[in-house]
Amino acid sequence: MSSKTQSHQLSNGLIVSGDPTTTDHPSNHRTPSFSLSTLSLTPPSRPPSQPNSGSGPQPAQLHPTGLITSGPLPSPTTPSHPPDPNTVKPVYGSEVTNMGKDPVRVGYMSRGIMWVFGVLLLMGLLLGVFLTVTVKKVVILVVVVSVSGSGLVWLGWNCLWRKRVVLGFVNRFSETELRGAVDGQFVKVTGVVTCGSIPLESSFQRVPRCVYVSTELYEYKGWGGTSANPKHRCFSWGRRYSERYVADFYVSDSQSGLRALVKSGYGAKVAPLVKPSTVVDITKEKRDLSPNFSQWLADRSLSSDDRIMRLKEGYVKEGSTVSVMGVVRRHENIVMIVPPAEPVSTGFQWLRCLLPMYIEGLILHSDDNQTSEEVIPV
């Protein structure tokens, strides 16, 4: 046996020192000594004529973390400029409902009632004009106009109270003991929420592990100036940009302790009644003092100019207590709460002269965004 040591390359591409002619026999078995100085860090390339059919055991592979697994190693891609996690815009898949693209209607009146009211108002005016011309008494026209004006005031009263009507309906609706709820029943469940498979993160404050997030940018328009949207009126705040997301989550019934899966993801219709926890007013003088806000605008390609802006952000964080209103669905041992197929009516309120308002989708209600001391750790 020659004492001369030679370097040679194994079939897996590793360069070792030793005698390549040494036979592997029990009587003269010798463990080759590896030379770290000659170790090649470049993996061998697989010839194109040797495709992997997927059958048979795969050779063990060594990941950069040191974990030995079987199968081919993934080809990592390292970006030349990795994004800053504190400023990058969140991007979610189809599992998360993007409510900015298809917002639901909350607190609207029935179109049938509006048509009936409009027809009666028009007929009353025409009848008043006809009687005034025929009888030649102006008092008839005055009475008709007064009645019509009262009807318009009543309609405006309903529009002004629609948010309070919706919140009053949610607060007055009795709590449901989820364990005794039957399939198809419309229920209201109040309890602590926990994230599903995809937790969310708020856009501006970067609050982690949320089930609902909303960040909206408003602009104030005076007598002149740029409108935030086509419906933006003078001397008012108009919404210019919106990010609103909600995903599937769990709620634990405070009465029975039963845990239910709330199906609010995958494009479901959800009516969030959540107050914003952050309100930031930005003027021209304050804009230079808020680099986070400027970066938030830049990440979304939004210009600031000299506009007066207001940013509102709301969220429902894991551990918060919320109320969910929807339809119960039972599948084996799983209890789910899904959006109702038809809009929910608040009903008439005769003492307050209020018409019924309608709400689309699953109702998610949170009185206030709890502080860190009020959130229950889960």
Tens-level pLDDT at each residue, the chain (378 residues): 444 445 555 555 555 555 544 444 444 444 444 443 333 333 444 444 444 444 344 444 433 333 333 344 333 333 334 444 455 677 899 999 999 877 788 888 888 888 888 888 888 888 888 888 888 888 888 888 888 888 889 988 998 998 899 999 999 999 999 999 999 999 999 999 999 999 999 999 999 999 999 999 999 988 877 888 888 989 899 999 999 999 999 999 999 999 999 999 999 999 999 999 888 888 777 766 678 888 898 899 988 777 889 999 999 999 999 999 999 999 888 999 999 999 999 998 888 888 999 999 999 999 755 544 454 454
Q: Which of 312, 326, 324 is nearest to 279 (CA)?
A: 312
For residues 324 and 188, the answer to whether their CB atoms sit within 8 Å is yes
What are the residue boundaries of the structural domains of the chain, listed by start? 162-366
**In terms of C-beta distances under 8 Å and separation of at least 24 residues, what long-range contacts does 6-15 make, across chains too?**
7/35, 7/38, 12/44, 12/59, 13/40, 13/42, 13/43, 13/44, 14/39, 14/40, 15/39, 15/40
DSSP class per residue in 318-358:
TT-EEEEEEEEEEETTEEEEE--SSPEE---BGGGTB--EE
Strands 7-9, 278-282: pairing is unpaired
Backbone φ and ψ for 297, nearest 5 degrees, come out as -65, -45
pTM above 0.75, yes or no: no
Number of H helices, E strands in the chain: 4, 19
